[in-house]
Structure 1
Amino acid sequence: MGDTITVTGNIASDPERRVTASGIVIASFRLASRQRRFDRSANAWVDGDTNWYSVSAFRALGEHAYASLRRGDRVVVVGRLRLREWETATKKGWSAEIDADSLGHDLLWGTTTFQRDESARAPRPAASAEQTPAPVVEPVATVRPETADLSDRWSAPLVPSGAPAIDADEIPF
């Protein structure tokens, strides 16, 4: 199964970092996701069942996850869901695994600071004479002064490009 899924939850284990024989970095952790609902009869919030996921992040995402995430952090994970059947001598069941495409802290529960990884940015190619310049984008419409209703600043009529423009001091906004 390869469905895309978005899950919010708490990290239940500190991320572990592994490197494959071919040099690919993998960070993995367990994620607990519990949905809450409002029970009108009890007039209170009630916790639902907890869903458990094994999350894996690869390459640069794995490095960044390992450096940034800790047990207990509230996160949002977007990735591909895989359901796997497992069996031991005494038990059998299913596990839900997410191969993360994107993940980060859930800002509903706190703040974080982003720091760009400059080493991961690709250098921009040098401009060549063969490249065509970017097209000039002109405004689609402007406000025509004689029809502007200054009492309602949000309802100023728009006219096609090429009409006489208004000085910045005359714009009703």
Structure 2
Amino acid sequence: MAGETIITVVGNLTRDPELRTVSSGSTVVNFTIASSSRQFNRNTNQWEDGDTLFLNCSAWDSGRTSLATNIANSLSKGMTVIAQGRLTQRSYQAQDGTQRTVVELRVDEIGPSLRRATAQVTRQSANSGFVGNQQGGFNQNAGYQQNGGGFNNGGYAGGASNFAAPQQQAPAQDPWNTPDSGSSSFGTFGAPAEFGNDSGEPEF
């Protein structure tokens, strides 16, 4: 949407994501990302942590995705994550009756950082979106695999024979599908009558 502020932040989760269901029945997850800047100290010749930004984040399940649920099942306190989303501002009334305003990140995409960690990805089947051949997709042990060939166990396993092109039938009025009445393999194409002249004109 035009006018939205989209940012990408890299940091560590300060707590386990909290999954809950709101009064409308929607599922939301809340968590906080601590992102610290790094700066080089020329006096000590070492990298040092600068100021830390604590950013409150939220994500929601929808009819097409289970983002909130996936976050709660995949991420935990201390993990380094990469998150992209839209900065939003909301107001609420605190317990002491005062009106407060907070800025938070509405997360659209998030995943663990692989700089100092590894991760295994399990693809979920859904009623919408591309799910391959219903038996393929990402397997946490074998990478991308697909029924009938493709990438399997880290290498290409072929499979072109299972994807033969369908046979096509010629149109009913196809002039090139007319049975040959002559003995030549080229039919009668090029004969004098083909050009409207069957006189004694010499052939080419």
Q: Where on the TM-score scale, by shorter chain, does this alignment land: which range?
A: 0.5 to 0.7
Shift in Å, 1:82: 2.4
**Where does residue 33 of structure 2 map in the other structure?**
31
Root-mean-square deviation (Å): 2.8
- Residue of structure 2 in register with 1:103 after alignment: 110
Q: Closer, same or farther in 2 for the Cα pair 1:41/1:4, shift >3 Å?
A: same
Matches of residues 5-154 of structure 1 in structure 2 within 5 Å?
5-59=7-61, 60-83=66-89, 95-119=102-126, 121-122=128-129
| Deviation of the 1:92 alpha carbon | 9.4
Matched residues, percent identical? 33
Higher strand share: 1
Q: Which runs of 5+ in 2 are unaligned?
A: 132-204
TM-score normalised by L of structure 1: 0.62
Give the letter for the 1:52 counterpart.
F
For structure 1, the residue ranges without an aligned partner over 5 or more in a row are 125-173
- How far apart, CA to CA, are the structure 2 residues paired with 1:85 and 1:122? 35
Aligned to 1:150: none
Looking at structure 2, the residues matched to 50 and 86 of structure 1 have their Cα atoms a distance apart, in angstroms, of: 25
Q: Distance in 1 between matches of 2:43 and 2:102?
A: 34
Instruction: Name the SS for the 2:126 alignment partner.
Output: helix
The offset of 1:51, in angstroms, is 0.3
Asked if the contact 1:77/1:102 (under 8 Å) is kept, the reply is yes
Question: Partner residue of 2:201?
Answer: none
Judged with a 3 Å threshold, the aligned counterparts in structure 2 of structure 1 residues 61 and 38 are, in CA distance, closer, same or farther, namely: same
Counterparts of 1:77 and 1:123, CA distance in 2: 23
1:14–1:6 Cα change, 3 Å: same
Partner of 2:168: none
Report if the CA contact (8 A) 1:18-1:25 is conserved: yes
Aligned-pair CA distance for 1:20: 2.3
